[in-house]
A and B are shown apart, each in its own frame.
Chain A
Amino acid sequence: MRKFVSIVLIALILFTGVAFYTFFQADGYADSYYLKMTKPKQTSMVLGTSKAAQGIQPSELKRAIGKDIFNYAFNIRTSPYGPVYFESIRKKLDSSTTNGVFILTVDPWSLSVYSENALSIAEFREQRTFMAELKDVSSNPNLEYLINHFDGSYYKIFKRNGVAKVEDDGWLHVNLKNDIASVNRRSRHTLNNYKEYLDDLEISAIRIEWLERTMDYLDDFGSVYLVRLPVHPELQKIEDELMPDFKLRLQFLIDKASGYVDLTERSDEFQYTDAVHLTPESGKLVSRLIGEWIVEISEDNSVK
Chain B
Amino acid sequence: MLFNSLEFAFFLPIVFSLFWFLPKNRVTARNCLLLIASYFFYAWWDWRFLTLIFLSSLVDFIVGRRLVATTKNSVRKWWLFLSLFVNLGFLMAFKYYGFFVQSFVDAFSFFGYNFAPERLNIVLPVGISFYTFQTLSYTLDIYRGRIGPTKKVIDFFAYVSFFPQLVAGPIERASHLLPQFRKIKSFNFSWAMSGFRLILWGLFKKVVVADNCAMVVNQIFSQYQEYSGSTLLLGCVLFGFQIYGDFSGYSDIAVGTGRLFGFDLMQNFRIPYFSRNIAEFWRRWHISLTTWFRDYLYIPLGGSRGNRFRTLANVFIVFVVSGLWHGANWTFIAWGFVNAMMFVPLLLLNRNRVYVDTPLSGKYFPSFQNLFKISVTFFLVNLSWIFFRSETITDAINYLGAIFDPSIFTIPYVFGIGLTHIGLICVVIMLLVYAEWLGKEEQQPIDSLVTRKDGLIYNIGFCTILITSVFFFGGQQQEFIYFQF
Binding site for B on A (CB under 8 A): 1, 3-4, 6-8, 10-12, 14-15, 18-19, 22, 147, 151-155, 159, 162-163, 185-186, 188-189, 192
Q: A151-B476, A192-B223 are in contact. Are A15 and B420 (CB under 8 A)?
A: no
With A14-B460, A189-B226 known as contacts, the answer to whether A4 contacts B474 (CB < 8 A) is: no
On whether the beta carbons of A4 and B192 are closer than 8 Å, the reply is: yes
Q: Mark interface residues in B37-53 (1 if CB within 8 Å of A CB, else 0).
A: 00000000000000000
- Inter-chain contact B467/A11, CB cutoff 8 Å: yes
- A3 — which chain B residues lie within 8 A by C-beta? 189, 456
A3 to B472, CA, bound (A): 27
Given contacts A152-B476, A154-B471, A189-B415, contact A1 B187 (CB under 8 A): yes
Q: Does B134 belong to the interface (CB within 8 Å)? A: no
Please tell me which one of the listed residues B20, B467, B472 contacts residue A155 in the complex, with CB atoms under 8 A apart.
B472
Please determine whether B189 and A18 come into contact, CB atoms closer than 8 angstroms: no
Q: Is the CB of A155 within 8 A of B473?
A: yes
Measured between alpha carbons, how far is A162 from B415 in the docked complex, in Å? 15
Chain B residues with CB under 8 A of A159: 420
B484 interfacial by beta-carbon distance below 8 Å: no
Check B463 against A8 for contact (C-beta < 8 Å): yes
Bound-complex Cα distance A2 to B472 (A): 29
Tell me whether B212 is interfacial, beta carbon within 8 Å: yes
Q: Among the listed A4, A11, A152, which residue makes an inter-chain contact with B475, where contact means beta carbons less than 8 Å apart? A: A152
Q: 26 A-B pairs, CB-CB below 8 angstroms?
A: A1-B20, A1-B187, A4-B189, A6-B456, A7-B193, A7-B196, A8-B463, A12-B467, A14-B460, A14-B464, A14-B468, A15-B467, A18-B468, A18-B471, A22-B472, A151-B476, A153-B473, A153-B474, A154-B472, A154-B474, A155-B424, A159-B420, A162-B418, A163-B418, A185-B415, A186-B415
Closest partner residue, chain A, to B9 (CB atom): A12
Tell me if B468 and A4 are in contact (CB < 8 A): no
Complex: chain A residue closest to B475, CB-CB: A153
Give the contacts of B182-240 with A (CB-CB under 8 A). Answer: 187, 189, 192-193, 196, 212, 223, 226
The answer to whether A15 and B471 touch across the interface, beta carbons within 8 angstroms, is yes
Residues of B with C-beta under 8 A to A185: 415
Instruction: Assess whether B459 is interfacial by the CB under 8 Å rule.
Output: yes
Instruction: Give the interface size class of chain B.
Output: 20 to 34
Q: Given that A3-B189, A153-B212, A189-B415 are known contacts, is A15 also in contact with B473, CB under 8 Å in the complex?
A: no
Contact: A15 with B468, CB < 8 Å? yes
Contact partners of B472 in chain A: CB under 8 A: 22, 153-155
Residues of B within 8 A of A12 (CB): 467
B contact patch SS: helix
**Chain A hits for B463, CB < 8 A:** 7-8, 11
A1 to B424, CA, bound (A): 37
Please give, as numbers and ranges, the residues of chain A lying within 8 Å of B418 by CB-CB distance. 162-163
Given A4-B192, A163-B418, verify A11-B476 contact (CB < 8 Å).
no
CB distance from B25 to the nearest CB of A (A): 17
A contact residues around B424 at 8 Å (CB): 153, 155
Binary A-proximity of B162-188 (CB < 8 A = 1, otherwise 0):
000000000000000000000000010
B-chain residues with CB within 8 Å of residue A22 when the two chains form the complex: 471-472
**Complex formed: what's the CA distance from A185 to B416 in Å?**
11
Please name all residues of chain B whose beta carbon is closer than 8 Å to the beta carbon of A6 when the two chains form the complex. Answer: 456
| Cα distance A11–B476 in the bound complex, in angstroms | 24
Complex CA–CA separation, A291 to B39 (angstroms): 60
CA distance A10 to B189 in the complex (A): 16
Contact partners of B226 in chain A: CB under 8 A: 188-189, 192
> How far in angstroms is the closest Cβ of chain B from A3?
6
Docked CA distance A3–B190 (Å): 10
**Sample of 5 more A-B contacts, CB < 8 Å, known A188-B226, A192-B223:** A7-B456, A10-B460, A15-B468, A18-B471, A147-B6
Which residues of A have CB within 8 Å of B468? Answer: 14-15, 18
Chain B's closest residue to A14 (CB) is B464
Q: Which residues of B contact A189 (CB under 8 A)?
A: 223, 226, 415
Contact with A along B408-423 (1 / 0, CB 8 A): 0000000100101000
The answer for the CA separation of A114 and B475 in the assembled complex, in Å, is 27
Residue of B nearest to A193 (CB): B223
Q: What is the CA–CA distance of A188 and B226 in the complex, to the nearest angstrom?
A: 10
Q: Which residue of A lies closest to B186 (CB)?
A: A1
Across-interface contacts of A18 in B (CB, < 8 A): 468, 471
Contacts of A163 in B (CB 8 A): 418
Q: Point out the residues of chain B lying under 8 angstroms from A7, CB to CB.
A: 193, 196, 456, 459-460, 463
* B196–A8 CB distance below 8 A: yes
Asked whether, in the complex, the Cβ of A15 is within 8 Å of the Cβ of B475, the reply is no
A15 touches B464 (CB 8 A): yes
Most buried by B among A4, A19, A22, A154: A4
Cα–Cα, bound, A188→B227 (Å): 12
Contact B464 A11 (CB under 8 A): yes
Residues of chain A contacted by B456 (CB below 8 angstroms): 3, 6-7
Q: Which residue of B lies closest to A151 (CB)?
A: B476
Which B residues touch A4, using CB under 8 A?
Answer: 187, 189, 192-193, 196
The 9 closest A-B pairs by CB, nearest first: A11-B463, A155-B472, A15-B467, A11-B464, A14-B464, A7-B459, A1-B187, A189-B415, A10-B460
A31 to chain B, nearest CB (A): 11
Give the contacts of B427-485 with A (CB-CB under 8 A): 456, 459-460, 463-464, 467-468, 471-476
